[in-house]
Amino acid sequence: MMLEEMTMEEYKKGLEKTRTLVVPYGTIEAHGAHLPVNTDTLVIERVIRKAAESVPVFVAPPVHYGVCTSTGAHPGTIGITAETLRRITLDIVRDGYGKGLKNFALISGHGGGIHVSAMKEAGEALAVELEDALLAVLSIYDVIGPEMAELAETEDDSHAGEMETSLVLYLAPGLVKGRSPEEYPRLPKPIIARDKVKCWPGAVWGDPGKATAEKGEKLFNVMVDKVLELLRRIEGA
C-alpha cells in the first residue's frame, strides 16, 4: 500500500490490515559518470514496492537524502548531516506511531557507515521511547553480501561498480549512460582524506564494464526475498 497515494479513509482501512510502515532510505549521490545520482533510492524503492506486493504493509515515500562522506564533494552529490538524518528518522517514526502504526522497517539502499549508524542510533532511541513499537533498521547491503559476491565477477566490487550498475540496467536501463572506467578508491585509511575527489576521482568502486541486466535481475530478486523475509517476520511478531 503506497502511503502517498492513499486518502485518509484508505489509510484508516489499511490499519485494519497492518500496523507496519516500511521506509526506503536513499541518497542523492555521485555514482560515476554513468549512473544517476538517485541510484540508491531507485533500487531500494523498487525492491520494497515489489516486496509489498506479497505482504500488505504501508510503504512510505523514500527519504531521498542521506549522509555522503566519501562522495560528499563529488559533482551531483547533495548530502545531509548525520544529525539531520537522525532527526528525520525520529520525526517520521514518532508521527507514524501517533497515527496508529506500531512496526517500522527502515531500509537503506545506501551502505555508508555514518549514514547507517545515524539511522540505527535513532532506532535505538525510539526502541526505548516507544515501548510497544517494533523497529528494524538496516542497509540492504547488510543482508545480501554472500549472494552479491557470488554473482559478481569483480573482486571487491562496490559503489557504482559491476553489481550496482547491473541493478540499474535491469530496473531503468535508459538511465545508464555508457560505462565508467574500472576504478578503486585510493583513500588512505585510517587517515581521513581531505580531498576525496583527488583520491577517488571517478566515484566508482569496481568494474561497471562487467555489468549485465541479467545479473541485476538476479540480485534484485535476492533483495526482494530478503525484504520479504523481514516483513513476514515483523508481521508475525
**Is residue 181 a contact partner of residue 204, using CB atoms and an 8 Å limit?**
yes
Residue 97 and residue 133: Cα distance in Å, rounded? 8
Residue 92 and residue 54: Cα distance in Å, rounded? 24
**CA nearest neighbour of 61 among 21, 97, 30:** 21
Q: What pLDDT was estimated at residue 114? A: 98
Q: What pLDDT was estimated at residue 113? A: 96
Other Cβ atoms closer than 10 A to 133? 18
Can you name the CATH fold of 3-236?
Rossmann fold (3.40.50)
Q: What pLDDT was estimated at residue 236? A: 84
Question: Residues of the chain whose pLDDT is less than 70?
Answer: none
Q: What pLDDT was estimated at residue 78? A: 98
Q: What pLDDT was estimated at residue 47? A: 98
Helix (H, G, I), strand (E, B) or coil at 13: helix
Q: What pLDDT was estimated at residue 49? A: 98
Q: What pLDDT was estimated at residue 160? A: 98
Q: CA torsion sign, 183 to 197 to 121 to 50?
A: negative
Contacting residues for 178 by C-beta, under 8 A, at least 6 apart? 33, 34
- Beta-sheet strands, E only, within 33-184: 58-59, 103-108, 134-139
Residue 13 and residue 74: Cα distance in Å, rounded? 45
Q: What pLDDT was estimated at residue 220? A: 98
Q: Can you read off the three cell numbers belonging to residue 27?
A: 541518497
0.85 surpassed by pTM: yes
- Alpha-carbon 114 to chain mean position: 14
User: What are the beta bridge partners of residue 23?
Assistant: 106
